[in-house]
Structure 1
Amino acid sequence: MPKAKTIYVCSQCGAESPQYFGKCAVCNSWNSLVEQVNTAAEVKTGLPAARSRRSAKSPTELKPRLALTLDQIEDHPQARLTSGYQELDRVLGGGIVPGSLVLVGGDPGIGKSTLLLQVAHQMGAATRVLYVCAEESGQQVKLRWQRLAPGDGSRGASANGDGKAQAVGRQLYLLPEIDLETILMELESLQPTVAVIDSIQALYYGALTSAPGSVSQVRECTSALMQVAKRTGISLFIVGHVTKEGAIAGPKVLEHLVDTVLYFEGDRFASHRLLRSVKNRFGATHELGVFEMVDRGLEEISNPSQLFLGNREERVPGVATIVACEGTRPLVVELQS
Structure 2
Amino acid sequence: MAKSKTRYVCQSCGYISPRYLGRCPNCGEWNTLVEEVEEKAAVKSQANARTTIAGQKVKPQLLKEVTAKETPRVVTENGELNRVLGGGIVPGSLVLIGGDPGIGKSTLLLQLSGELAQKSKVLYVSGEESANQIKMRADRLGVGGSEFYLYPETDMPSILANIDELKPDYVIIDSVQTMQDPELTSAIGSVAQIRSVTASLMQVAKVNGITVFIVGHVTKGGAIAGPKILEHMVDTVLYFEGDMHRTYRILRAVKNRFGSTNEIGVFDMREDGLKEVKNPSEIFLEERLKGATGSAVVVSVEGTRPILAEIQALVTPTAFGNAKRTTNGLDHNRVSLIMAVLEKRSGLLLQNQDAYLKAAGGVKLDEPAIDLAIAVSLVSSYRDEETSPGDCFIGELGLTGEVRRVSRIEARVNEAAKLGFKRAFVPKHNLDGWTFPANMQVIGVQTLNETLKEVFR
Relative to the length of structure 2, the TM-score reads 0.62
In the aligned structure 2, how far is the partner of 1:214 from the partner of 1:176? Answer: 20
Q: 2:68 is matched by which residue type in structure 1?
A: D
In the aligned structure 1, how far is the partner of 2:241 from the partner of 2:235? Answer: 20
Q: Structure 1 residues 41 and 227, CA, compared in 2 at 3 Å: closer, same or farther?
A: closer
Describe how 1:60-209 pairs up with structure 2 within 5 A.
66=60, 68-69=62-63, 71-149=64-142, 154=144, 168=145, 170-209=146-185
Query: What SS does structure 2 have at the residue aligned with 1:121?
Result: helix
1:316 equivalent in structure 2: 291
1:31 equivalent in structure 2: 31
Are residue 239 (structure 1) and residue 215 (structure 2) matched?
Answer: yes
Aligned-pair identity (%): 54
Describe how 1:4-19 pairs up with structure 2 within 5 A.
4-19=4-19
Q: Which of the numbers 247, 252, 257 marks the counterpart of 1:281? A: 257
Asked if 2 retains the 8 angstrom alpha-carbon contact of 1:84 and 1:123, the reply is: no
In the aligned structure 2, how far is the partner of 1:252 from the partner of 1:67? Answer: 32
**Runs of 4+ that moved beyond 4 A:** none
Describe how 1:243-322 pairs up with structure 2 within 5 A.
243-310=219-286, 316-318=291-293, 319-322=295-298
- RMSD, aligned α-carbons: 1.9
Q: 2:193 is matched by which residue type in structure 1?
A: Q
Q: Structure 1 residues 311 and 111, CA, compared in 2 at 3 Å: closer, same or farther?
A: closer
2:21 equivalent in structure 1: 21
In the aligned structure 2, how far is the partner of 1:9 from the partner of 1:236? Answer: 27
Asked if 2 retains the 8 angstrom alpha-carbon contact of 1:3 and 1:39, the reply is: no
1:29 Cα deviation after fit: 1.5
Asked if 1 retains the 8 angstrom alpha-carbon contact of 2:84 and 2:252, the reply is: yes
Q: Deviations over 1:259-317 (max 9, x none)?
A: 000000001121000000000000000210000001111100011011012368x9535
- Aligned residues between the structures: 297
In the aligned structure 2, how far is the partner of 1:147 from the partner of 1:174? Answer: 16
1:26 Cα deviation after fit: 1.6
In the aligned structure 1, how far is the partner of 2:26 from the partner of 2:312? Answer: 44
Q: Structure 1 residues 250 and 311, CA, compared in 2 at 3 Å: closer, same or farther?
A: closer
Q: Deviations over 1:45-102 (max 9, x none)?
A: xxxxxxxxxxxxxxxxxxxx94634x44222332101233110110000001011000
1:55 equivalent in structure 2: none
Query: What SS does structure 1 have at the residue aligned with 2:285?
Result: coil
In the aligned structure 2, how far is the partner of 1:203 from the partner of 1:287? Answer: 30
Q: 2:214 is matched by which residue type in structure 1?
A: I
Q: 1:24 is matched by which residue type in structure 2?
A: C
Asked if 1 retains the 8 angstrom alpha-carbon contact of 2:111 and 2:141, the reply is: no
1:12 Cα deviation after fit: 1.0
Asked if 2 retains the 8 angstrom alpha-carbon contact of 1:310 and 1:334, the reply is: no
1:257 Cα deviation after fit: 0.3
Query: What SS does structure 1 have at the residue aligned with 2:173?
Result: strand
Unmatched 5+ stretches in structure 2: 44-58, 314-457
Q: Structure 1 residues 25 and 303, CA, compared in 2 at 3 Å: closer, same or farther?
A: same
Query: What SS does structure 1 have at the residue aligned with 2:27?
Result: coil
1:220 equivalent in structure 2: 196
In the aligned structure 2, how far is the partner of 1:259 from the partner of 1:326? Answer: 20
In the aligned structure 1, how far is the partner of 2:105 from the partner of 2:304? Answer: 24
Relative to the length of structure 1, the TM-score reads 0.84
In the aligned structure 1, how far is the partner of 2:192 from the partner of 2:10? Answer: 10
Asked if 2 retains the 8 angstrom alpha-carbon contact of 1:266 and 1:273, the reply is: yes
Greater Rg by CA? 2
Query: What SS does structure 2 have at the residue aligned with 1:276?
Result: strand
Query: What SS does structure 2 have at the residue aligned with 1:201?
Result: helix
Query: What SS does structure 2 have at the residue aligned with 1:130?
Result: strand
233-242 vs 29-38, greater mean Cα deviation:
29-38
Q: Structure 1 residues 311 and 256, CA, compared in 2 at 3 Å: closer, same or farther?
A: closer
In the aligned structure 2, how far is the partner of 1:243 from the partner of 1:199? Answer: 14
